[in-house]
Amino acid sequence: MDLGNFASLAHFLPELLLTGGVLLLVIVDLLVADKTHLGDLALIITAGALLLIALTPVTASAWLFHRMLVFDGFAMFFRALIALAALVAVWMSMGSEEVRGCDQGEYYAILLASTLAMFLMAESANLLMAYLSLEFVSLTSYILTGFLRHNRRSLEAALKYLIYGGVASGTMIYGMSWIFGISGSLDFAVINKTLTAPGALPVLTVFISLVLI
C-alpha cells in the first residue's frame, strides 16, 4: 500500500512527537531558569514515543511519503528497540554529574534528535532517505561526542570521529551512486529485483559492500 503525505502521518506519530519534543526542550531551556526538570521532560517524551509505537498495530506493510519510508514489522521492531535504548540513555543521563554540569536542554534535545534520526534510518525505503538519515545520526553523534567542550578527550574523540565519519560517508555515497547507476532506481525494492534478476551484474555486490563500509 502506497500512502501519500497526509495519509502517512497516522503511522508517523512517534517521529512527530520526538520532533515536537526537541523543539519543546529548546524553548523550555531558553525560557525557564530551573534546568533540573529537563531530564524528566525528555524522559516523558521518549516514553511517549515508545508508547505510541507499542499502540500502533502492524496490520499490513505500507509505503509512507511516496515510498520514502516503509511501515512494516521490521521497522516497528527497530523503532521500539531504539526508543527503549533512548529511554535508558535519558534515564542514565539524569544521574550523570557531567550532564548536570553542561547545557542540559541542548544535550537532551540532541539526544532526542539522534533518536528521531535512527527511527528514520530504520524505516528508510530509499537510498536517498537512508543516506540523509544516516548523516543525521552521524551529525548528532559528533556533537554528543564533543559535548564536553572543556574536556580535551571529548574534543579529541569528536575530531577523530568526524574524520572517520567523513571518509566512511564519502565511500558510502560513492557506492550508492554506482548502485543507482546500475539499477536505475533509488528504491530498495527495485534494487532488490535488480540483484535477484537472472544475469545480474556481480559487480553490484562490490558497490553494496562499499555502502556497508
pLDDT beyond 70 at 52: yes
Q: Tens digit of pLDDT for each residue in 116-127?
A: 999 999 999 999
Domain range annotation of the chain:
1-126, 148-213
What's the mean pLDDT in 91-118?
87
Which pLDDT score, from 0 to 100, does residue 118 have? 96
* Residue 194, pLDDT above cutoff 90: no
Average pLDDT for residues 136-162, to the nearest whole number?
Answer: 90
C-alpha cell of 183? 539499477
Residue of 96, 88, 87, 4 whose CA lies nearest to 51: 87
**By mean pLDDT, which of 85-94, 135-144, 178-187 is the weakest?**
178-187
**Do 174 and 210 touch, CB atoms closer than 8 A?**
yes
For residue range 20-36, list pLDDT tens digits in order: 999 999 999 888 888 78
Task: Judge whether 31 and 97 are in contact, CB under 8 Å.
Answer: no
Residue of 36 and 84 predicted with greater confidence: 84
Give buried/exposed letters for 113-135 (b at 16+ CB in 10 A, else e): bbbbbbbbbbbbbbbebbbbbbb
Q: Which pLDDT does position 200 carry in this prediction?
A: 65
pTM: 0.89
Average model confidence (pLDDT) across the chain? 88
- pLDDT (0 to 100) of residue 114: 96
Cell of 16: 512527530
Is residue 213 pLDDT above 90, yes or no? no
